[in-house]
Structures are given as C-alpha cells and as structure tokens.
Structure 1
Amino acid sequence: MSTPLIGISVPRSPENSAFGVRDSILQVMEYSEAIVAAGGRPVLLPATETIPDDLLAGIGALVLSGGGDLSPSLFGEELVSASYGISEIRDTFEQALVADAIERSIPILAICRGLQLINVIRGGTLHMDIPGHWQSVPADQTVHSVDLVDGSALAELTGSTSMEVNSYHHQGIKDLGRNLTPVAFAGELIEAYEATDADILAVQWHPEHLYEKSESNMLLFREIVRKASTK
C-alpha cells in the first residue's frame, strides 16, 4: 500500500527575497514532520490566485493550517487593532480547498485558523479579540486543559474526556456554524468541533507543536493519515 498524500495549506504573506518583497509561502516544519511521523507524505498547497482544476486530486486528506486572521468581511465584522496577517487570496483559496475536500469525501483536520475558516464558511462568527489565549511559553508546552464531550469522536479517539493543549490564538468561535457540533471546551469557549455532514475535526490549539510530547495530540495526525490510507 502506498503512503497516503496529506495536503497541508500554507500561509501566503509578503516576505523579503533576493527580488525584493514578494508574496511567498512560509510554513513551520512541524505540520509536515507530524504527518511524516504519523506515516503520511506531506504535500504543501500554496494559495495561488488562480485556483487549479482538480484541486485535491490524488490527495487523501487535508490539513488546514493556522496563520493570520480571516478577513472580517467574511462574517460581517470590521478590522480591529489586533487584526493581523490577513490574505483574501488565502481565504478564497482555502474556501475552495474545503469545498473540494467535502465534494471528494476527503477527511479534514482543521487547526486554529482552519477551525475559524470552516466555522465562518458555514455561517458562524468569531470573537474579534480574546485576551489571555496567546501563551508566552514555547509552543511545545501545554498551558491549559480542554474538556472533551463524552461520546464524541475526539473523546473516543483519545480515550479521555480532557486534553492538555497549547494556546496561540486571539480570536475564537462566537456563533457556531451550520452542522457543526462542539466537542471540546475551555470554560464556555468552543475549542474543537466535528461536522455532522462531513468528515471534519477542527481544533483551536496547535497539535503540530505537541505531537512529539503528547500522545493524545499525536493521535490527531495518526487518525487523519489512517483515514487517508483507506481512500
């Protein structure tokens, strides 16, 4: 059996280059390393202005990565002083990724920004700036626990009703989108959801920075690779 290909979305941002400042892709290696450690082959999916036909042909699963904020125009809000890293090209491209993945019945693991994107696509909204959710310690350290909903796929996968997680976000779910079920909470804040009409697990934290130290977070990548291998 061939090793499944796992598509990973990547940020698009202006970066210095030998040719001056150019829109570029720059992604931390942990996403790819976690996929390799779980038995998959990572494929980076840059947010091009022209969206290719057969966008996810040959891809067995999709990881929607973290990054800058969504354009607030997607959910009827205005910019705030804390807004950063917005790329409308990326927003458009990743909406196409989600649509194609669902059309092809490809499983999706959505991380941080990815969780927020799918929520907004499905009519949900976001808190524009939440204090106290951007940790000051390294990303491979956990800073709080989340309570998992008993009976959810996430709880069944981890064999627990809680997880220790990191926290690198300043926005979060306000109103939950259509056909999404919350499966993890930090207090009243939704930290993870699953879809009732597609194979989607979305988490607000960053498991890619925890996979080496946390078996429960590593399981998220093992599961997405396992699902891809059955496609």
Structure 2
Amino acid sequence: MTRADPRRPLIGITTYQDDAAWSGWHQRASLVPQTYVDAVFRAGGTPVLLPPQPGGAEHLLDALDGLVLAGGPDLDPARYGAAADPRTGPPHHARDDWESTLLRSALTRDLPLLGVCRGMQLLNVELGGTLLQHLPDGSHQKLPAQFVRHRVEMADGSRLATVLGPDAEVSCYHHQAVDRLGSGLRPTARGADGTVEALEPDGHRFALGVQWHPETDPDDLRLFQALIAHALTASR
C-alpha cells in the first residue's frame, strides 16, 4: 500500500451525522470530536473519517490498517429485539447500519479495532447481546455534557490489563450499558457498581471495546498507541 508516510497506519474513525453550524452556515454535517482525531494522530496514526453512507465498507477497509468506532447516540433497541425505553434517544438508522457493516467486516478481517462507548455497545449488540437502556441518573453521566470520573478494575490476564494495568480512573458519559453479553465476548473491566466497562472478543489480535472515553485524556494515549502498534504489524 502506498502512503505519504508509511510509518503512519491509516486509522478509520466513524462519525456522527448531525445538524451543525460554522461561520454563517447551518447544515447537516458529518463530524466527530477533534479529540478522536488528535488521539489517533498523536499515537502515531493517520486519521481517516468514515461518515455514514449506503455502501463501500469493504473497499474502505481494504485501505485501512485499523478502525475506531466512536461514541455517539443510542443504538436502536430494535437491533437487540427490545422496545424503546422513553429515555432512549431517537434512532439513527444510517449510522447503525453503516457501523454494523464496518464492525462485522473488521472482525472477519481481524483488523485492529477499538470501540469507544457506543462502539463497545455496538460490539455487544452485533454479537447477539443486549443493553440496559437506562442507568441511574448521574451515575455514569451528568447532563448537560459532563463526564463522570470513576475507577474501573481490569480482569487479570486481559489485553486491557496488559495495556492499562490492574485499574484506572476513566471518564464516562453514558446512560446505557451492557446487559446480556454477546457471543464470544469477555467482560474485561468493571466499575464499582458492577457495570461492564470493557469487552474483548475471543480470537482476535487486537479488538477492544471500552465504555469510557479515552480520547478525552491527552496525557494517556496507551489504548490508541496499542491500536497503532497492532495496525503497524497488520500493514506490513
């Protein structure tokens, strides 16, 4: 694969589709918080934004060395056979469909993968799991847009523990969580209240889902550096 800088693997980052404003414009836009872009770049990768679209996932993954499934709105509960709780956000079908296709193809290819918040929940749902649609108010997020800092404990022998150690203080912003585990998934971190905070699928070189937001901590790039290290190996 020819790149301007072959030392920097190409890392896809999924994006939102939402109304946005800039300069004098107010339009529908594909966007992602800059913190994701900065984290991938500072960890040694070249970020590539992947907006929701009706096709082309296989072609894109042919060109990528790794994938980040970014956080975002609630998944459609119909995807795991549930009726929507009144506190669940409106569905985003285009993004759900797009990221589902990317995720399944990435797992099939054994492409290095990091799912963040919604990305971890998608991993669980796509492998047959379900979600709790609402946690106690203020326990894992504070409205409006305030992260909750809390400590999580890693499972012994997990890839996550290898990267982060036995425990870590993390920034969470979610009101939903894993309920029934998907097939072949192992919970590899939990909060003090027992909430599953990380998942790892069996049989993959590097595939992690974390419920927290590692991209918001510019002083701790270890998860992104681990993703980049495996992406470099995959691109050779």
Alpha-carbon distance change, 122 to 134 in structure 1, aligned in 2, over 3 angstroms:
same
Q: Could you say what the CA RMSD is over the residues aligned between the two structures, in angstroms?
A: 2.1
Deviation per CA, 1:110-168: give whole Å up to 9, x if none: 000000001000110000111221046986x761100111111111112x211100110
How far, CA to CA, are the matches of 2:198 and 2:81 in structure 1? 23
Partner of 2:178: 173
TM-score (norm 1): 0.89
Counting only pairs closer than 5 Å after superposition, residues 188-199 of structure 1 correspond to structure 2 as 188-198=194-204, 199=206
Gaps of 5+ in 1: none
Matched-pair contact (CA < 8 Å) for 2:148–2:173: no
User: Which deviates further from its counterpart, 99-108 or 25-34?
Assistant: 99-108
The structure-2 alpha-carbon separation of the partners of 1:161 and 1:20, relative to structure 1 and needing over 3 Å to count, comes to closer
Measure the CA separation in 2 of the matches of 1:205 and 1:221.
13
Contact 2:39 2:215 in 1 (8 A): yes
Q: CA deviation at 1:197?
A: 2.6
Indicate conservation of the 8 Å contact 1:127/1:174, yes or no.
yes
1:94 paired residue number: 99
Q: Deviations over 1:16-43 (max 9, x none)?
A: 6878653x21211000100111011000
- The residue type paired with residue 171 of structure 1 is Q
Say which is worse superposed, 192-201 or 69-78, in terms of deviation: 192-201
- Alignment-derived partner of residue 55 in structure 1: 60
Q: Provide the rounded CA distance (Å) in 1 between the counterparts of 2:180 and 2:44.
A: 36
| Equivalent in the alignment of 2:77 | 72
User: Where does residue 81 of structure 1 map in the other structure?
Assistant: 86
Residue 157 of structure 1: SS of its match in structure 2? helix
Decide whether aligned partners of structure 1 residues 136 and 91 sit closer, same or farther in structure 2, where only a CA change above 3 A counts: closer
Shift in Å at residue 52 of structure 1? 4.7
| Among 211, 221, 233, the residue aligned to 1:230 | 233
1:155 aligns with 161
Change (3 A) 1:135 1:60: same
Return the offset for 1:50.
3.3
CA distance in 2 between counterparts of 1:79 and 1:138 reads 22
State the one-letter code of the partner of 1:96: T
Equivalent residue number for residue 38 of structure 2: 33
Please list every run of 5 or more consecutive structure 2 residues that lacks an aligned counterpart in the other structure: 1-5
Q: Is the 8 A contact 1:60 1:229 kept in 2?
A: yes
CA distance in 1, matches of 2:77, 2:198: 21
Verify: 1:208 aligned to 2:215, yes or no: yes
Residue aligned with 1:83, SS: coil
Distance 1:96 1:116, change over 3 A: same
Q: Deviation of residue 85 (structure 1)?
A: 5.1
Native 8 Å contact 1:110 1:203 kept in 2:
yes
1:200 Cα deviation after fit: 1.2
SS of residue paired to 2:124: helix
Pairing 1:219–2:227 present: no
SS at match of 2:44: coil
Q: Percent identity?
A: 36
- Scaled by the length of structure 2, what TM-score is found? 0.88
